[in-house]
């Protein structure tokens, strides 16, 4: 179980890790400064949610632990762990296509909606950490 005991932390490589799906009661960390941005995380067994500068960044149902969460201008990548299969929504650039891979499988191209959200299902039960990568497809 790869839970993040401190709920939100900065890794040595500059990525962040957050979420603790083992908690029975809701817990949160607010105003966590990282890279000039302010983060807020709410997490417990049923839900994990991350906001960056007051804007939606990540949500999972049920709760998950997210390791090595990195955002670039081209997308996001992270490792996710949980006790049960999860529905994960990530905040990205609006109305844009992304190549999405889960584990070793490229699940194809997906398009964000007008609010920039992209949702996937990830099988986590009895699996351990699963790598997720969403890379913007450059047009032109």
What pLDDT was estimated at residue 139? 61
Contact 46, 61 (CB under 8 A): yes
Peptide bond into 62 cis (omega under 30): yes
Determine the Cα–Cα distance for residues 107 and 134; give it in Å rounded to an integer: 10
Structure tokens at 119: 């949702």
H-helix or E-strand containing 11? none
For domain 8-136, the CATH architecture is Sandwich (2.60)
Q: Which of 13, 9, 74, 79 is nearest to 88 (CA)?
A: 79
**pLDDT tens-digit readout, 27-74:** 999 999 999 999 999 999 999 999 999 999 999 999 999 999 999 999
Domain ranges, ordered by start, for the chain: 8-136
């Amino acid at each position: 179980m790869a839970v993040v005991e401190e709920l939100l932390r900065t890794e040595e490589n500059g990525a962040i890790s957050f979420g603790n799906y083992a908690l029975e009661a809701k817990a949160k960390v607010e105003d966590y400064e990282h890279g000039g941005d302010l983060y807020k995380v709410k997490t417990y067994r049923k839900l994990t949610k991350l906001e960056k500068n007051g804007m939606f960044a990540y949500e999972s149902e049920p709760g998950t632990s997210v390791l090595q969460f990195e955002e670039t201008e081209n997308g996001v990548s992270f490792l996710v762990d949980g006790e049960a299969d999860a529905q994960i929504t990530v905040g990205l650039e609006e109305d844009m296509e992304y190549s999405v891979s889960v584990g070793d499988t490229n699940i194809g191209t997906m398009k964000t909606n007008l609010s920039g959200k992209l949702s996937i299902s990830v099988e986590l039960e009895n699996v351990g950490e699963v790598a997720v990568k969403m890379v913007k497809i450059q047009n032109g």
